[in-house]
Structure 1
Amino acid sequence: MKKIFLFFMILVLFTGCYITQKKKVHYLSTLENVNIFTLNKSDSIKAYKSKLLAEKSLEECEKRPNSNCIDDIGIGNIDATFLNGISNFRMVLFNNFKVPKNAQTGENRVRVTIGTKDNLDSIEVLKSTDEYTKKAIENVFKLPKLNTWKSAKIYGIPVKEQFEISIFIENKK
């Protein structure tokens, strides 16, 4: 009886050594819910003056014969940009985010706000699968590599911009 018990104990011990936690992988969504903040009253006046000046300049250009006029009035809004583009932002985020050992699978949603001083103003974890993952998300956004933004602009006036991005965690197949 002791030998059978000992046999089962050794079997359980060896079996336990081979059971490992499943590895996790992650992937990112595209940027969603992109919003440019509106201007305050004094900045709105400046933007309106810039628009009027651009319209007047275009009218004067069109009156001159054989002139090549560029209508840039419609490009008054410029989105925030990341160094080398948004795809580079996603790549830097993907490569630097480390999935915690105890992470749960599912969607983690983050709201990112780009400030008016070419900076990452704030992040807010809207949804997380667990506290370990939430902390990992907060830590990755503290990296200087992820703070290389140019502010959004409305007629040359810097404004805040927000967007959301999801980090999905799944079991490796």
Structure 2
Amino acid sequence: MSTRARPVATRLTTDPLPADAYRFPGDSRCPGRARRALRDQLHVWRISGEPAHSAELLLSELVTNAVQAQASAAPEVGVRFAWADGRLRLEVRDASDELPVMNDAEEDEECGRGLMLVDALASGWGVDRDGTGKVVWAELAVCDASAPCGAAALHGP
């Protein structure tokens, strides 16, 4: 796990329901395809507004990083969305064993701020390695279809 990752206090189970998973070619169209799939699933789960926009941004950053991490071979990128207990979990799997790194991008640099956005927007995020690559995940707390949960709402009074 990255030293900057902030795991949530309680992670979703390893196989939460409901969930949806996809595989996309690891090319420049992958982030757009993943966002479109997420929008469709969020509509089914009736998650909209700011939580939906934040989820799309989180997913876009994670998928873009996955595509860039394995650019030479351009294999598939796996994407999984799970919704349980007021938390939306976004997982992006790639075949690279290179861990994501949070950079201190200069003001005039075009790249290097993605994980800073993930760290700022997500309730928690991290990396799980497996034998053929990694899964980078982010969770977003969502109380209902219209607003993100605050820390007090997640942990009670």
TM-score (norm 2): 0.28
Q: Which structure is higher in RCO with an 8 Å CA cutoff and minimum separation 6?
A: 1
Q: From the CA coordinates, give the structure whose radius of gyration is larger.
A: 1
Higher helix content, 1 or 2: 1
